[in-house]
Structure 1
Amino acid sequence: MSSHVTHLPSHLSLLASLAGAALKAGEVVLRIRAEGMAIARKADESPVTAADLASEELLRAELARLLPGVPVIAEEAVAQGQGETPADTFLLVDPLDGTREFIGASGEFTVNIGLVEAGVPTFGIVLAPAVNKLYAGVFTAAGGGAFLAGLDAHPDFWTPIRCRPMPEKGLVAVASRSHLDPQTSAFLAERDIAETISCGSALKFGLVAEGRADLYPRFGTVCEWDVAAGHAVVRAAGGSVCRPDGSALPYARTEAGYRVHGFIARGAEA
């Protein structure tokens, strides 16, 4: 895919260009995964691989070219004390979300790019290269839409997706494969849940956005780069992502180390 798709409306052209950057990173990640990789531990004991670092390096270069001057808050740079300062418009990047899935066999890891404007995610890319899925979403004054595609699909042929209206009962929930915490389990147990799908990484947002799930609760602590891209995709598909108390999910919280203490993604209001 070309990095610049000029025949599309400007908002979709930028969305396609961001997808192009993620696809390049996805190729790097898959190559390193196939070659085998050494696993190190960060200060918080979470795993990091050469794929995390190579993907982030590529993405930072691509995004600097696509959106010069827009700060990039990326997971590995922040972990190394090198994070940039957010502005009114900034990017949140997780170069490899779901490192445990990357190390394991499921393939449910993603490359996440989110663009935040005035505190709200407006553009989101969630790429799962090992399972051939690309979720893309944009919601701006210029227009919007959410899409699902395979890795080799031209943006003209991306499939539009929408959240389904929230049913009164018999909800389908999606929960973390690796990080299901007791509070999330209790939340689900208190509701009329017909099915719970276990899934890794930001793919869970995609399942809500394409109408395959109604609810994605997460009460454990994550970081803004884990959430922003999926938030944008769900929002573009007609759903919502809020704090557990229903208030807006805040971004650019440098003082909190970009930590997010729980959220709930929901499908469209009926």
Structure 2
Amino acid sequence: MKQLLPIACAAGDAIMAIYRRGSAEVRHKVDASPVTEADLAAHRVLATHLPYLLSGCPVVSEEDSSSLVYRRNAERFWLIDPLDGTKEFIARNGEFTVNIALIEEGRCTLGVVYAPAIDALYWGGAGLGAFRCMGGQTDAIKVEAAIAGRACRVVASKSHLNEATQVLIDRMGVVSLVQAGSSLKFCRVAEGEADIYPRLAPTCEWDTAAAQAVLEGAGGVVVDLQGVPLQYGKPDVLNPSFIATRDTSLIPS
């Protein structure tokens, strides 16, 4: 981890160099999702340095379609989203992240989430605990216990709150909404600032793996609508609908 965190920060530095410039070239992929030169700059940093950490451990990146073959052919691989929240980057709201996860036999065993614009660094994994470094101060984080009488704090996506997700939120009764972008939505639950994050809209494995590891390290869970933890290296890179929460009892039946 001492070697991994500086790599995440270096990718964040590459993003911020372009962010501070005030403009970035934006293109669109085949699926119409945006990609910027900052996505590619961060990808180059991660793809260059991660292979040296674990011998024979390939890097699977959203920004390298040729790397996707390793999702199915390697028991262990790095899974990265060099810039998660490209729409947030373009909107210049600061809520974008670098996501790095280690996948072993279908599970995200550790993850790093770095939000360079707000200098917030998160890392952890199941059995490893979870941690946050902000302003040079590092603290252990964990999900918050229930407080009687407090409305359930639901994380809502700034860019992807669709009708199906809204219907599920409505079934929870009285709630208070917590806004966040990118994988910071998971981190809000992990650090005790929210209780649940439902996502009934498409995501890919690289969108969730790193932050799932952080949340699991903090005592939370990320499960599909059947209550099964999200798995990685599946035949399809798309995730099922899922709910990230401090406690599965909060999920409406």
Distance 1:234 1:167 in 2: 19
State whether structure 2 residue 30 is matched by structure 1 residue 51.
no
CA shift digits 1:224-249 (9 cap, x unpaired): 00000010000000010010221121
Distance 2:186 2:174 in 1: 17
Alignment counterpart, residue 265 of structure 1, candidates 240, 244, 250: 244
Alignment counterpart, residue 197 of structure 2, candidates 216, 221, 243: 216
User: 2:143 aligns to what?
Assistant: 163
SS at match of 1:261: coil
Alignment counterpart, residue 85 of structure 2, candidates 92, 98, 120: 98
User: 1:31 aligns to what?
Assistant: 17
* Per-residue deviation, 1:72: 1.3
Which runs of structure 2 are paired with 1:139-150 in the superposition (5 Å)? 139-140=126-127, 144-150=128-134
User: 2:6 aligns to what?
Assistant: 20
Distance 2:212 2:218 in 1: 10
Distance 2:34 2:164 in 1: 24
SS at match of 2:197: strand
User: 1:8 aligns to what?
Assistant: none
* Per-residue deviation, 1:132: 1.4
TM-score (norm: length of structure 2) = 0.92
Distance 2:221 2:67 in 1: 31
- Aligned residue pairs total 245
| Residues 51 and 98 (structure 1), Cα distance of their counterparts in 2 relative to 1, 3 Å cut | same
User: 1:244 aligns to what?
Assistant: 225
User: 1:11 aligns to what?
Assistant: none
| Residues 268 and 190 (structure 1), Cα distance of their counterparts in 2 relative to 1, 3 Å cut | closer
Alignment counterpart, residue 208 of structure 2, candidates 227, 246, 261: 227
- Residue identity over aligned pairs, in percent, reads 40
* Per-residue deviation, 1:82: 4.2
Q: Which moved more, 1:25-34 or 1:163-172?
A: 163-172
**CA RMSD, Structure 1 to Structure 2 (Å):** 1.7
Segments of 5+ residues of structure 1 without an aligned counterpart are 1-13
Which runs of structure 2 are paired with 1:128-143 in the superposition (5 Å)? 128-140=115-127
Is contact 2:61–2:67 with CA below 8 Å preserved after alignment? no
User: 1:3 aligns to what?
Assistant: none
CA shift digits 1:29-63 (9 cap, x unpaired): 00011222110010001100011011011101110
User: 1:83 aligns to what?
Assistant: 68
Distance 1:39 1:179 in 2: 20
Q: Look up the equivalent residue of 1:123 and give its one-letter code.
A: L
